[in-house]
Structures are given as structure tokens and as C-alpha cells.
Amino acid sequence: MNTKPARSLLCILTLFSSGPQLLAHGPGKDSDFEGRRVLFIGMDGCRADAIAAAMEKGLAPHLKALAADPQGLHSRQVYAGGELGEVTHQPTVSGPGWSSLLTGVWMDKHRVKDNRFFGARFQAHGHFMRHIKNVKPTSWCASFADWKPIHDMIADGSRVNGQEFLDVKFTLESHAEQYVAHDESMRDQALQTLRTQNPDVMFVYFGQVDEVGHAASDKRGSFSPDNEWYLKAISAVDTHIGSLLEAMRARPQFNEEDWLVIITTDHGGTGTKHGGDTDEERKIWLIAHGKELPKDRLLNTPVPQTAIVPLIYDHLKISTPLPTEP
């Protein structure tokens, strides 16, 4: 059973635009980070062995090509769930997973233990884009997600004194059956941003793979590399990712820009469930592309999902923030 909270059948659209959007720096090297930019893509509930199977079967050609590029990689050493038996140990469900991926800390700090977000401490350990905005107030950050807690809980919970740090925030409230269409909307809005704006950092979340894994959007689905419908969902998101990569590369001064592309997931699964400590639930993956990736470390040593945010900070050449409270 899907462990995410129930969603309304109504579709709710929220688009936030602040003043800095109109004042965004230009393309190429004309940016707060001298042309260094980030495209962070999340595929909810996508098992590591399933993404590998999809690439091997020709169902994820864009992911395969990105990983195979001399500046790319596909790490199978990444894990969710914190350190077993330690204070960082956390359930392998979406709430704690995305909290860790977007803040760079485990549950012992962000305090999110499930999808209700009770007791979350994002004021102390906030969304990574809040820190980017604190370091460079004129930087330009955008987020697109059709699982509303990404914005309603993690991003909004990270605001200090109500101050918005996202220049664009695109959300659709989604029921299980709507994720296919809503993922297309995430793609379309992100494409518009890549083509018409000059983002320093973008986060794009796709939810349909998880819903098929839960057999929520299609009763034939499960979290299995042998499940045809699960692999088809991965293939659909791969096509969306291909469109985003094409738009990124088509930017007018792309050759002057230094893009870090990060693609990963929050958890794996077993059967149609997840949340536990099995290898299938804890083992995740990372596909990345960039000029200065620490390939040896990412490919040959265990990588916690909390390492993603520091990778972004390193690329932008900014320091890791200190917590604002204990």
C-alpha cells in the first residue's frame, strides 16, 4: 500500500514568481556562479536494479548515454535509510528520503520519520536552495514537483520569517492516476524555464515510477526490475529527462556554461512496498554528469544520499551551511 498521504482528486496548480525572476542574470558565464549551474532530477521510488535493467533493455537511452559520456557516471554505491543501528537510521519512505536529499542531513537532524512530517526541523536544517539564496541573494532557483510535500513541507518549512527563496515553484496536487499527466506538466514547465530563463539551480521531481511500483496507478505494477509496467514508467521518465537535457544543451551560450546534472531516487522497494531495511529498499543509485565529478569516490565507495547536496555546493563553490539552531 502506498505510504504517502491521501491526495485530493482535485488538481491544484500553484506557480510562485518573485521579483528576482525578472532580474535573472544572463546565459553563459553571466551568472552569480560564473556560469556554473545545476539540474537536479528526482525519480521517486526507482529501484537501482530496475534502472539498470531499463538501460540494458534500451528503455532508458538518455540516462544510459548520460552515464556513458566521459564526463558522466552511474554509481550503484548509493544508499538510503541512514546508517543501520545508528542515530541517522531512518525509514526508506519518501518523506525522510526527500528530506535527506534536499537538506543533506539524515533524520537525526531533520527529524522527518514518515510522510506526515510531524516534528520536522527545516528551520535548523533547511532546503539546499535556501542556503544558495542566502549566499547569493540574486541567484535564481526553481523547483517543480507533483508530490506537494516537496514544496508544502520541505521548501515552505525551510522559509525563515516567511521569506520565499524559490523564484519559481510549480506544483500539482496529484492522485495516483494523475501522475503520468502531471509528470508531463513538470517537464513542460521545466522546459520553459530552461528555454526562457537563466536558472542557477533547478530541481525537477517525477512521481509516476513510485506509483506504478505501489500498484497504485496501475494494479499490474510492482517494485521489480522484472515488472513490465514499472520499466515502462522508468522509460517514460527517461523520455522527459531527454527533453530536459536537449533543452539544456540548446541554450544559446551552453558552451560557456558549466552544468552539473544529478539524477537519483529517494528509496527502492520490495513487492509493492517500501520503508524497511532490506537491500532492495536501501540501495539506490546516482547518475551524474559534470566536468569535476569526484568519480573515484562516487563509483568505488559507499555514498549516502546525503552526499548529493554537498556535491551541489562543491560545484557552485560555496561552503556547507551551519544549522541555524541546535
Residue 3: what pLDDT? 46
Residues 6 or more apart whose CB falls under 8 angstroms from that of 149 comprise: 5, 94, 95, 98, 115, 117
Residue 317: what pLDDT? 97
Q: What are phi and psi of 285, to 5 degrees?
A: -155, 165
Residue 19: what pLDDT? 39
What separation in angstroms does the CA of 106 have from each of 79, 90, 92, 94? 12, 7, 11, 13
Q: What is the 3-state secondary structure (H, E, C) of the chain?
A: CCCCCCCCCCCCEEEEECHHHHCCCCCCCCCCCCCEEEEEEEECCCCHHHHHHHHHCCCCHHHHHHHHCCCEEEEEEEECCCCCCCCCCCCCCHHHHHHHHHHCCCHHHHCCCCCCCCCCCCCCCCCHHHHHHHHCCCCCEEEEECCCHHHHHHHHHCCECCECCCCEEEEECCCHHHHHHHHHHHHHHHHHHHHHCCCCEEEEEECHHHHHHCCCCCCCCCCCCCCHHHHHHHHHHHHHHHHHHHHHHCCCCHHHCEEEEEEECCCCCECCECCCCCHHHHEEEEEEECCCCCHHHHHHCCEEHHHHHHHHHHHHCCCCCCCCCC
What separation in angstroms does the CA of 215 have from each of 70, 200, 224, 301? 37, 36, 11, 33
How many CB atoms lie under 10 A from the CB of residue 90?
23
Buried b (16+ CB within 10 A) or exposed e, 225-243: bebebbbbbbbbbbebbbb
Residue 174: what pLDDT? 86
pLDDT in tens, the chain (326 residues): 354 443 333 334 444 444 344 457 889 999 999 999 999 999 999 999 999 999 999 999 999 999 999 999 999 999 999 999 999 999 999 999 999 999 999 999 999 999 999 999 999 999 999 999 999 999 999 999 999 999 999 999 999 999 999 999 999 988 999 999 999 999 999 999 999 999 999 999 999 999 999 999 999 999 999 999 999 999 999 999 999 999 999 999 999 999 999 999 999 999 999 999 999 999 999 999 999 999 999 999 999 999 999 999 999 999 988 766 54
Between β-strands 168-172 and 303-304, what pairing exists: parallel, antiparallel or unpaired? unpaired
Residue 247: what pLDDT? 98
CATH number of 13-316: 3.40.720.10
pTM beyond 0.85: yes
What dihedral do alpha carbons 66, 132, 100, 229 form, nearest 10°?
Answer: -40
